[in-house]
A and B are shown apart, each in its own frame.
Chain A
Amino acid sequence: MFSALFFLQWQSFKNRLWQRIKRLRNPRYFFGALIGGAYLFSVFGRSFYRMGGVSRTGIMPGVPSSTWEFLAALALFVVLLLAWLIPHQRAALVFSEAEIAFLFPAPVRRRTLIHFKLVRSQVAVLFTVFFLTLIARWSGGIGGALLRAAGLWLLLSTINLHLLGSSFARTLLLERGIGLWQRRFAVLALAGVLAAGAYFWVRAEMPPVDPSGFTRFGQYRDYVGQVAQTGPAVYLLAPFRWVVRPFLASDDPHAFLLVLGPALAVLVLHYLWVVLSDVAFEEASLEASRRHVARVTAVREGRGLNARPHRRRRAPFRLAPTGPPAIALLWKNLLSAGQIFSARYAIILLGWSAFAGFSMSHGGGGRQHLLSQTVAFMALVLTGWSVVLGPQVVRQDFRQDLAVADLLKVYPLRGWQLALGELLTPAIILTLSQWVLIILAWTLWDKRVGSEELSAWQSQGSLAASAAILALPLNFVSLVVPNAAALLLPAWFATPATPGASRGIEVIGQRFIFLIGQFLVLLVAAVPVALTGFVVYILASEPWLGQPWALPVASAAAALVCAAEAAGGLLLLGNWFEGYDLSAEKPA
């Protein structure tokens, strides 16, 4: 039976890999893979080559290995303790929907299913080990790195088995009437007794210590080193030390072999514990698998890891049955974005930021001044960041609705109306966020320039108003790029209709290309905008308006040019959507 499950694993892996390789025939995937590969090599490849050349002893020079071992064992103890304390669900092995449909009704023993899951979890463990080995630049050349990787595999595999075993044990306790809080109390009591015992033992064995007398890091390090060598730590943490030792001892192959035995023994004991547990996990697995599917769907819908089911939300405003149809899409997408994006909340937020900014800037002494300057600076940085990277984060537009493109296609709307409706939501969300940041930056920025304070308020206010005026059209232009990419290269985007499109080395490259494309388009679009603004500013500043007023006027003129660019972008997007052939884009 296990051979059938192994066949399933192996064939799934092989077919997935083959599918990826096949899609490289498509130039956009090929170039994506090329750039993604180059990027990964620039990040990880160099450290791989340096492995042979770099020779260091220990993880951090100056800290004895016994101290590291103690700290690592302690950390492992805490991690495993939490596995007994925190989880409240029954044991659940997560299977895919297809696996549940095929395997649960099949004549497969529970133990075989556990083995199947263990083999699959090994894929994740091995990938983690490989990944960390690539980026960590461990000492001892390639041989040392391989030993370290083996030690890490032992450590991660033991943790993995322990988490599974503890989940089985928790379920057994529940079945025997020992509830969640009873178990937590018992575990905490046991941990408390052990900690108290260790504390009194250390106090009895170690000379009295006054931490306030420590002035150097070395003194802390030495004290921890001493505790690590004292009785309770040695005995209580012994199994945990055995598990972490191969990882820490891998600079020396001989030492590695010496500590390998106990670690393997712990691993084998864990394995026996897991496979000999006879726990009914099927029901909990169904629930866990449902949650897993919800999480995957959430990620594909661009909701991040927010896998909670959608909740009923109050409409952001009352949608009249007649009027510009694009507003219907704004209304729908605002609903999708969440409760916070309503007119009421927006007004409250803007008012709050103004109030908070004025309060902070007019209070307190030097420390508060420093704080307000820091917040103001961060607000400015975030404003700039949101123009370039904001469109990658706020995705309530075509990227979200590509999965229901067939539905949008049936609506009696022009392409540009759909494009306008789709882009309105992220543009408004980004603009409101930027206004809040601009208000914060303006009110908090240093204006203490003696008698010139009023002038500082004016000149900074003029800058802030100019930025606020420019924000909306600029966001539209910025949003055109990712939406154009979604329509022109829909297979690059993860939607529920394109499973697997969000993974792979080529997707890293594709995202890299998008980001560069976005920068370039913004730069090109900025040229006529900046030129218009500059000319109007020169014309308006001295003879008529004076500097504080000329800047917002120039910004308004620049915003008009930017809005024209955005309108052009919307027309293009609309044309592309009208020409978007759903039948030509099949899931990758």
Chain B
Amino acid sequence: MIEAQSLAKLYDKFTAVEDLSLTVRPGEVLGLVGCNGAGKTTTLRCLAGIIPPTRGSVRLCGHDLAADPIAAKRELAFFSDEPRLFDYLTVEQHLAFVARIYQVADYRERMTPLLEELEIADKTHQLPGELSRGMKQKLAIACGLIHNPRAILFDEPLTGLDPIGIRRMKASILRRAQEGAAIIISSHLLPLLEEVCSHVLILGGGKVLANGTLEEVVHQFSGEGSEVPPDLEEIFFRATAESQK
């Protein structure tokens, strides 16, 4: 479970995120959408413990991120939009390193199916510099998933992936949600979110414009008497336009 209560992040006088509260239960996938500069990445980085929130609290799988960061982070995987890798470690060495950090005793057994699922099983001895952008993304994902996290944060997870990679990634996200993980995905690819997300949170200027299940948000922004429910893209435009009024 991922919970944030009255989260706020200020940079000097600029408010990046204001009074954000959310709850993502096991099995739920929350799509975080918003324009550029809406505060999506800041929110995710606060939830991951990378930057401290100015106000508010975060709980991951019941552990308060500020009070018990180690227990909270053991349950967490965070994937940034740019894969963060060590240039001098091979694919296999990356996994060995992360396994030791997270104390994954059986990482060798987990590694092979994970790499096969991500289609980089034949790259185990290659360095990041020898991998394409998409392969690097897959390696970062493998590193994040090797310890079976129960709270997963994706920031633009499909950047650089090919169509097959995108399809597999979507299936992987849904499977992990079915297995009980709480997932937040930040993306501008609204059709993707529509496919995989059970919940949506729309951010605008650091404030929550809409938050709820996909159906609830659709209902909130449906026009009077419209027969065909609007898609997420239309909802996004309506929500952001409303906030700008």
Contacts and interface: CB of A to CB of B under 8 A. Distances in A.
A244 to B, nearest CB: 45
B110 to A, nearest CB: 10
B102 A412 contact: yes
A328 B73 contact: no
A430 interface: no
Interface string B63-100: 00000011111101010100010111110010011011
A410 B89 contact: no
Contacts of B108: 321
Nearest to A401: B86
Interface residues of A, number: 32
Contacts, number: 91
A409 B100 contact: no
Interface stretch (A16-24, A100-108, A311-319): A311-319
A559 to B, nearest CB: 28
A581 B48 contact: no
A364 to B, nearest CB: 44
B100 A323 contact: yes
Interface in A327-344: 327-328, 331-332, 335-336
B101 interface: yes
Contact of A404 (B49, B76, B86, B129): B86
B80 A319 contact: no
Contacts of B45: 406, 582-583
B73 A412 contact: yes
A414 B93 contact: no
A321 B104 contact: yes
B11 A583 contact: yes
Nearest to B53: A583
Size category, B interface:
35 or more
Contacts of B84: 404, 406-407
Interface string A33-45: 0000000000000
Contacts of B166: none
A15 interface: no
B38 interface: no
B9 interface: yes
B103 interface: yes
B241 interface: no
Contact of A319 (B42, B69, B96, B127): B96
B164 interface: no
Interface of B: 9, 11, 42, 45, 48-52, 69-74, 76, 78, 80, 84, 86-90, 93, 96-97, 99-108, 125-127, 129
17 contacts: A310-B129, A312-B90, A312-B126, A319-B96, A319-B97, A321-B96, A321-B105, A322-B105, A404-B84, A404-B86, A406-B50, A410-B76, A411-B102, A412-B70, A579-B52, A581-B52, A583-B9
Interface of A: 309-313, 315, 319-323, 325, 327-328, 331-332, 335-336, 404, 406-407, 409-414, 578-579, 581-583
Given A321-B103, A332-B97, A583-B45, 9 more contacts: A320-B100, A322-B105, A331-B100, A336-B86, A406-B84, A411-B73, A579-B52, A582-B45, A583-B9
